[in-house]
Amino acid sequence: MSTAAATTRSEPATDVGPPSAEPTGTAAGGWDQVERRARASQSFWTAVVGVPAIFSVLRLGVEAGGELQTTLLLVANVGPVNLLAGFLTTAARLLSTVLVAVFALGGVLAASAHGMPRRPLLARWMEITPSWFVTASFLIALVTWPLLYLPLLLPTLAAAFQLRPERLHEHPVVRALIVAAGYAGYLWLLLPTLRIAWREGATLPILLLVVPPLLALFVAGPLPGVVIRPLASVTQLAVLVVLAWAALPVISTPVLPLTVTTVGTSAEATEEIRGHVVTTDDVNMVILQERGGVRYVPVEQVRGQVLCPSEEELPRHQLRIHDFHVEDSLLEGLGRRVRPVHRMDAACR
């Protein structure tokens, strides 16, 4: 299967277009390829639907604190659409990161793996994935990644689509001028942020903002044979390990919003319950407490309820790019402009 793929591609280093655009070779080879692609497409869509579904159910188990009855209570009350939407909200960043990493590595490996008896897995994935899907993954990354990490999209994009600076202009001097002007403009945009980062001694943010655009100029192109073999095997393993490492926090991210509910029988004797509201009916409000356990609170005893942030949302850096916090994604940054005042209720403390 892989040999057929390798032999039928006329320009594996640069061809990243949709499968139909590729030449097919012999009739038997064509059928084989059509069948292979149909199967790949099936498994692809199975994974796209199945992985979030399985993740979501796993998350319910974690959210319930490992208790079977609590898990069943959540299953009974959290609708599948809410579950999937909740999953996509919290996991879009992880999913796009994994896809971008796979496509970037796949692009590099595909460009370098000429003459290898068996093409690396990531290169094959890259080849069978429709280019609209690769583009969509990059667009999702663009709007969901924190601004601080966004520059990394440039080298990964150049690697995935094997974009070389030669495409900018055929004349080297004009090309150099275009690149220099673009980079100068980019630095000018970031100058206030870089100045503050320098003053604070924040080396990593400076590197993450300044270096990636330069890497994008060189990242496309075949790697030497000495590098490609270890890279192919190591990166496949690394992607799996990173996926597992990054998936853990996503599995443990709550499905339901965190609230503090004030309950009490009189004005003086009140209690504040910190947890996630599972459901409310005419008689009870069911709260899954943050520290575990389910509370059934009679609705007439509920005095108030506030929405609270979780400690995972605390910023790690104090840097801003033109008043956009570096840890906000473009979507979050725009959202904060629509609703600029976020007042945290004191009951959340």
Partner 1 sequence: MGESVSRFRYRSVATTAAVALTLLLGAAAGCDSRQEPELPSVQEKLRESHIWGQPVLRIGVAEDEPLMGEVRNGVHVGFDVEIARYIAASLGYVGDHRIEFVSVSTEDRIPALQGGIVDLVVSSFSITEDRKKHVSFAGPYFVTTQEVLIPTRHRDTIRTIEDLRNPKYKICTSGGSTSEAELEEHQVPMLVVKDVRDCVKGIRAGRYDAVSSDLTILAGFMARHPKDFEIVDMPFGTSELLGVGVPIGDPALRDLVAYFLHKSYQQGLKGEASPWQTAYNRTLGPWLRVEKRQPPPLDVPELVDFDDKVPQR
In the β-sheet with 258-264, what is the strand arrangement from edge to edge?
294-298, 284-289, 270-280, 258-264, 302-307
Of 167-226, binders to partner 1 (CB under 8 A) are: 204, 207-208, 211-212, 215, 217-224
In this chain, which of 96, 156, 253, 259 binds partner 1, going by CB under 8 A? 156
**Residue 273 CB neighbours (<10 A):** 19
Hunting for tokens 């990636």 — which residue is that? 212
Of 44-73, binders to partner 1 (CB under 8 A) are: none
Q: For residue 271, list its beta bridge partners.
A: 263
Q: Which of 175, 336 has the CB closer to partner 1?
A: 336
Q: Amino acid letter at 322? A: H
Q: Quote the least distance from Cβ 75 to partner 1, whole Å.
A: 30
Piece of the chain touching partner 1 by CB under 8 A; list 70-78, 265-273, 278-286, 292-300: 265-273
Q: Which of 134, 286 has the CB closer to partner 1?
A: 134
Query: Which residue from 176, 142, 167 is spatially nearest to 156, judged by alpha carbons?
Result: 142
Query: Which residue from 18, 77, 6, 88 is spatially nearest to 49, judged by alpha carbons?
Result: 88
Burial profile 80-100: b = 16 or more Cβ within 10 angstroms, e = fewer: eeebeebbeebbbbbbbbbbb
Piece of the chain touching partner 1 by CB under 8 A; list 101-109, 121-129, 184-192, 275-283: 101-109
Kindly report the backbone phi and psi dihedral angles of residue 86, in degrees, each rounded to the nearest multiple of 5, phi listed first. -60, -40
| Side-chain half-sphere exposure of 288, counting CA atoms within 13 A | 25
In this chain, which of 170, 268, 282, 300 binds partner 1, going by CB under 8 A? 268
Piece of the chain touching partner 1 by CB under 8 A; list 32-40, 120-128, 280-288, 335-343: 335-343
288-327 mask for partner 1 (x: CB under 8 A)?
A: ---------------------x-x-xxxxxx-x--xxx-x
User: Which stretches of the chain bind partner 1, using CB under 8 A?
Assistant: 101, 104, 108, 146, 148-149, 152, 155-156, 159, 204, 207-208, 211-212, 215, 217-224, 227, 231, 242, 245-246, 249, 267-268, 270, 309, 311, 313-318, 320, 323-325, 327-328, 332, 336-337, 340-349
